Amino acid sequence: MLDGKNIILGVTGSIAAYKAAYLIRLLIKKGAKVKVVITPAGKEFITPLTLSTLSNAPVISDFFSNRDGTWNSHVDLGLWADTMLIAPATASTIGKMANGIADNMLITTYLSCKAPVFIAPAMDLDMFAHPTTQQNLERLRSFGNHIIEPAEGELASHLTGKGRMEEPENIVRVLEAFFSPKEDLQKKKIVITAGPTYEKIDPVRFIGNYSSGKMGFALAKVCADRGAEVVLITGPVNQTIDHPKIKRVDVESADQMYEVTMNVFPTVDAAILCAAVADFKPAVRSDEKIKRESSNELCLRLTPNRDIAASLGAIKKSGQVLVGFALETNDEERHATDKLRRKNLDFIVLNSLREQGAGFRCDTNKISIIDKFGVVTHFDLKQKLDVASDIVDKLATLW
């Protein structure tokens, strides 16, 4: 899985820096190309000569070479990488990464890196447990970075606890698992609804909501990447998606979304209903623009839209899986559980507008999954693509 992968290995000032030498050997054995970036403190623990000999490449530490003034481009390095691994990562480096303190080559490279980032912390148990470190790690997780939890054991301080950098073999296993293509949804067909619906008032106005489509599109991508054939039925959004396994159908109103989804449902193995469907539409739609001058006050009479989720729940066949979403503002679990039962869902994904970084428009989400047996699983704040992976993992367990 790591054959041909370009890996930046960031080494920081920890006693565990000696393990970086083993890590490089293992990665090179797996066919990866490794370039090492080391912090000034890292050089106190392991020599650049050792690391460059093992990696077959110069070790980068300074912004430019003192010998000939050559500029070390952290941007080029960031773009070269398929992944960046910081092992060992000290509390100081973790703090700088979480707060963008770009005072060394490792942090500038991290900030320029578009590839997935893995962080293997190494520090004393109390430093690791400190709320500052935990909050910084939480922040890095919310950026989509992957934390390879330290192991428990004897530490450099001779205390025993959690803080030992994970063993190089296990770190390599984590990377291999990440890069191994998951194709567990081969032969599955999944319909996904996404985005808002627009309910026309007149030719220029509508009732809508803030859904951007990001969550639904992330789900479509993850399902397709894992081998499923996807029908993505979306309300009006600015998202683009280009994947041979995704068929996109654009709709505008809840009625249109209802018709297309009901039509496709008998042919699929699962439906994931992520769209923020308008619950009501104007009872009467004006064919002409309503003029401001026509009256002092405008009353709109609204009539309920058909509930797509509940209608699918009523015709669901055995073997078909139905996944709904619940966007709540209060009494979250109670309302979500009520929707799960009423709509005959297999599980429901709860997101709350009370959580920062969750719900509409943002690139992140924080969800809980409640299944039909009442089991509730809470997840951290993550990028919507990673949230989609968690949801699809749950779906895959039902097959």
For 238, the token pair is: 């600015």
Instruction: Name residues contacting ligand PMT, limited to 171-210 (CB under 6 A).
Output: 193, 195
Q: Is 211 in the site for ligand PMT (CB under 6 A)?
A: yes
Asked if residue 302 lies in contact with residue 278, where contact means CB atoms within 8 angstroms, the answer is: no
Instruction: Name residues contacting ligand PMT, limited to 126-155 (CB under 6 A).
Output: none
Minimum CB separation from ligand PMT for residue 277, in Å? 4
Q: Is 268 in the site for ligand PMT (CB under 6 A)?
A: no
* CA nearest neighbour of 383 among 196, 222, 159: 222
Which helix (H) or strand (E) segment is 301 a member of? none
- E strands, 188-307, are 189-194, 199-202, 205-207, 229-234, 246-250, 270-273, 280-282, 302-304
For 199, the token pair is: 């309910």
Of residues 92 and 209, the one with the C-beta less far from ligand PMT: 209
The span of 84-92, 136-144, 156-164, 304-312 binding ligand PMT (CB under 6 A) equals 304-312
Of residues 148 and 369, the one with the C-beta less far from ligand PMT: 369
Q: Is 23 in the site for ligand PMT (CB under 6 A)?
A: no
What is the Cα 153 distance to its own chain's centre?
31
Instruction: Name residues contacting ligand PMT, limited to 215-244 (CB under 6 A).
Output: 215-216
Cβ neighbours of residue 295 under 8 Å, at least 6 residues apart? none
* CA nearest neighbour of 253 among 276, 237, 235, 271: 235
One character per residue 305-344, x = contact with ligand PMT (rule: CB under 6 A): x-xxx--------------xxxx-----------x-----
For 278, the token pair is: 């308008």
Of residues 83 and 234, the one with the C-beta less far from ligand PMT: 234
The span of 22-30, 38-46, 141-149, 269-277 binding ligand PMT (CB under 6 A) equals 269-277
- DSSP codes, 85-121: EEEEE-HHHHHHHHHT---SHHHHHHHH--S-EEEEE
Whose CB is nearest to ligand PMT? 308
The span of 75-83, 89-97, 303-311, 372-380 binding ligand PMT (CB under 6 A) equals 303-311
**Which amino acid is located at 188 in the chain?**
K
CA distances from 25 to 104, 157, 220, 383 (A): 25, 27, 38, 32
Contacting ligand PMT (CB under 6 A), which of 289, 342, 354, 361?
A: 361
Minimum CB separation from ligand PMT for residue 166, in Å? 33
Minimum CB separation from ligand PMT for residue 255, in Å? 10
Annotated catalytic residue 209? yes
For 381, the token pair is: 């704040």
Contacting ligand PMT (CB under 6 A), which of 273, 381, 388, 395?
A: 273
Contacting ligand PMT (CB under 6 A), which of 33, 164, 214, 226?
A: 214
Of residues 25 and 316, the one with the C-beta less far from ligand PMT: 316
CA distances from 144 to 7, 115, 139, 262, 309 (A): 17, 10, 9, 35, 30
Instruction: Name residues contacting ligand PMT, limited to 74-113 (CB under 6 A).
Output: none
∠ Cα 100 106 111 (to 5°)? 40
Of residues 118 and 217, the one with the C-beta less far from ligand PMT: 217
**Which amino acid is located at 273 in the chain?**
L
The span of 63-71, 74-82, 99-107, 353-361 binding ligand PMT (CB under 6 A) equals 353-361
Contacting ligand PMT (CB under 6 A), which of 91, 220, 271, 275?
A: 275
Helix ranges (DSSP H) in 30-104: 48-55, 74-80, 91-99
Catalytic residue among 209, 238, 263, 330: 209
Cα–Cα distance measured from residue 191 to residue 261, given in angstroms and rounded to the nearest whole number: 8
Catalytic positions are 209
Binding site for ligand PMT (CB under 6 A): 193, 195, 211-216, 254, 273-277, 279, 305, 307-309, 324-327, 339, 351, 359-361
